[in-house]
Amino acid sequence: MDKRLVGKRVLVTQSKDYMGPATVELFREHGAYVLADESDLRESSAASAVVDKVGDIDILVANLAAPANLGTMAHDIDEDVWFTMFDVMVHPLHRLFRAVLPQMYKRREGKIVVYGSATGIKGLEGVAAYSSARAAQIGYIRSVGREAARYNVQINLIAQNFVENEDYFSTEFQETSYFKEIMEKDVPIGRLATAREDALFALFLASNESDFFVGQAIAFSGGWAQ
């Protein structure tokens, strides 16, 4: 196997959730020393505490996710749900960047891959709080990605949807007529991606092969978003 990440220290957040397990497994296969962190990063000091604990990081994989609360109309979203989306997916992202970017800038080398969502670039009814937080991630990555590029640090986001995951696409949900209709009408490829396919894309963005990608939010959604 071509081991692209030999000798690289990789921090993966929410390592047991969403894209965490597939990423940890694949990156280790490719020779990385993976620091799999399971911390709740909502506390303001949590991100810096994690980075202080693990030390130097060559690659950060920001895997920050929460249930989308599909089907909730905007006027029915209470403040707890609204703020939770940003507390889980947006504020920790900035705090992680504040903790890792200085060391990467000092070395003039580093990669950050963010698992985001295509709902941040294409509208979807019934997920206003979730998609707003995901859009905020994209705006942040586009801005900071430009800053970081001047220090030879590449930051990019995978804007994903329709990736196998029991939290978003449970077996029961896949059996519903609603899901099957979406697949037929809106997803040209007609299937879910596997978690490994998604992790392989993250591997590319974490490797030296992606050095010319700067502040991109790249759709990974089987054609649902472009």
Torsions phi, psi for 155 (to 5 deg): -125, 125
88-110 tens-digit pLDDT: 999 999 999 999 999 999 999 99
Comparing 156 with 170, the larger pLDDT belongs to 156
Instruction: Return the SS3 of 51.
Output: helix
130 included as an active-site residue = yes
| Tally of domains within the chain | 1
Based on C-alpha coordinates, what's the Rg of the chain? 17
Torsions phi, psi for 149 (to 5 deg): -60, -30
For residue 47, give the amino acid letter: A
Is 75 contained in some domain? yes
Residue pointed to by tokens 């403040």: 79
Give the best-scoring range by mean pLDDT among 121-125, 155-159, 170-174, 191-195. Answer: 155-159
Contact 135, 88 (CB under 8 A): no
Domain extent, residue 14, equals 9-220
8-67 tens-digit pLDDT: 999 999 999 999 999 999 999 999 999 999 999 999 999 999 999 999 999 999 999 888
- Mean pLDDT of all residues in the chain? 93
Distance between CA 63 and CA 116 in Å, rounded? 8
* pLDDT > 70: percent of the chain: 99
For residue 146, give the amino acid letter: R
Task: Tell me the mean pLDDT in the region 118-141.
Answer: 92
pLDDT of residue 66: 85
Distance between CA 222 and CA 201 in Å, rounded? 13
Is 3 contained in some domain? no
Is 111 contained in some domain? yes
For residue 190, give the amino acid letter: G
145-168 tens-digit pLDDT: 999 999 999 999 999 999 998 888
Comparing 100 with 73, the larger pLDDT belongs to 100
Is 226 contained in some domain? no
Contact 48, 72 (CB under 8 A): no
Catalytic residue among 18, 115, 130, 168: 130
Contact 221, 47 (CB under 8 A): no
Contact 114, 141 (CB under 8 A): yes
Instruction: Return the SS3 of 1.
Output: coil
Is 139 contained in some domain? yes
Question: CB-based contacts of 45: which residues, under 8 Å, 6+ apart?
Answer: none
What one-character DSSP code corresponds to residue 194?
A: P
> For residue 110, what is the domain's CATH number?
3.40.50.720
Is 210 contained in some domain? yes
pLDDT of residue 1: 65
Is 109 contained in some domain? yes
Is 78 contained in some domain? yes
pLDDT of residue 169: 86
First-to-last C-alpha distance (Å) of the chain:
32
